[in-house]
Amino acid sequence: MNKALFTLFVTITTGLMGSSFAIGKIGLNYVSPLFLVGLRFTIAGLLMSAIVILLKRSHPRAPKEWLQILVVGIFQTTGVMGAIFLSLRTITAGESSILTFTNPLLVVIFSTLFLGTKYRLVQWLGVLVGFFGVFITLGAKLDIQQFGTFLGIFSAVSWAIATLLLKKWGSSFDTWVLTAYQMLFGGILLLLGSLMFEEVKLNLTALSIFIILWLAIMASIVQFAIWFFLLQKEDSGKVSSFLFLAPFFGVIFGWILLDETLHLSTLIGGCLILVGIYLVNKPKKQFKNQTK
């Protein structure tokens, strides 16, 4: 893939990731949080499920495999996305995106503690730099007494757990089938959670319908499709290192669409987090003097 096309696809997919925070926050004016994100992933899951069935992609047969997909959906969709959309009630889209995308830093820690994975010195340096950025962002700008802050952190924790589960189970599944059904199962659980734990609000207007469809189609299906295409065509380490662009776009879209203030502390802390994530994902071959 030529450099210009790769750059375009990376910009589109990470931009779509980042856009969901600001657009989701606008959507909260019309739809209650859990119901909105539940609609998003139930619609996306249904559409993707229909596609993988039509394309006759390999589906799981054993009940154990379907249970594994359900567990991934609980952490990757229900846990991560539910926490994000609930956090948007009390913190900005930029702050929520920054906290959520600290998950690669947590993956290093959890992998070391629970899987015995060995990481290079530069990756641990990335963890330290990243969490120093979180410290600056939290201490200098965010009110740690706001529940949204903890929800933003929880979303990162849930995402990190989902990543470890995918590393353990993912190779036995067709990627598109796993993605489709984990979104569907996670979305259904979010809808059930909405009916049980919140006062459901659904104000259908042209804008709210556009937001729901944007989140379901552009920020979910299209974004996943481009991301997986890049992972298939390029080195996964190289592609993953660009994930740090997503919170950057989250802050930018919050500024453009929501008129959120770009506080210096948020920018400094966010930049440190991006540097930390970049170091964590830096391919080994570029650090020949480092030991694994």
Is residue 277, in this structure, part of any structural domain at all?
no
- Interatomic CA distance for residues 204 and 145, integer angstroms: 33
- Interatomic CA distance for residues 20 and 148, integer angstroms: 17
For residue 202, list its beta bridge partners.
31
Is residue 61, in this structure, part of any structural domain at all?
yes
Query: Is the pLDDT score of 292 beyond 50?
Result: no
Query: Is the pLDDT score of 143 beyond 80?
Result: no
Contacts of 58 (CB under 8 A, 6+ apart): 174, 177
Is residue 206, in this structure, part of any structural domain at all?
yes
| pLDDT (average), residues 86-93 | 89
96 and 88 Cβ atoms separated by less than 8 Å: yes
Digit-coded pLDDT (tens) for 209-267: 999 999 999 999 999 889 888 877 876 666 766 777 788 888 889 989 999 877 777 77
pLDDT at 289: 47
Is residue 280, in this structure, part of any structural domain at all?
no
Residue 210 is part of which domain span? 3-103+147-260
Digit-coded pLDDT (tens) for 159-172: 999 989 988 898 88
**pTM reported for the whole predicted model:** 0.86
Backbone angles phi, psi at 10, to 5 degrees: -65, -45
Query: Is the pLDDT score of 206 beyond 50?
Result: yes
Q: Under the phi-then-psi rule, with left for phi > 0, alpha for psi from -120 to 50, and beta for the rest, what region is 282?
A: beta
- Residue indicated by tokens 């820690």: 109
- As a whole number of Å, the CA-based R_g of the chain is 18
Is residue 95, in this structure, part of any structural domain at all?
yes
pLDDT at 138: 62
- Interatomic CA distance for residues 40 and 15, integer angstroms: 18
Is residue 185, in this structure, part of any structural domain at all?
yes
pLDDT at 139: 57
Is residue 288, in this structure, part of any structural domain at all?
no
Within the chain, strands assigned E span none
pLDDT at 283: 65
Q: How confident is the model at residue 291 (pLDDT cuts 50, 70, 90)?
A: very low
Query: Is the pLDDT score of 288 beyond 80?
Result: no
| pLDDT (average), residues 138-150 | 64
Lowest mean pLDDT across 6-20, 121-135, 142-156, 246-260: 142-156
| pLDDT (average), residues 45-69 | 95
Q: Please name which of 134, 93, 96 lies closest in space to residue 260, comparing C-alpha atoms.
A: 93
- Number of compact structural domains in the chain: 1
pLDDT at 231: 75
For residue 218, the 8-state DSSP code is: I
pLDDT at 140: 53
Is residue 45, in this structure, part of any structural domain at all?
yes
Contacts of 213 (CB under 8 A, 6+ apart): 43
Query: Is the pLDDT score of 185 beyond 70?
Result: yes
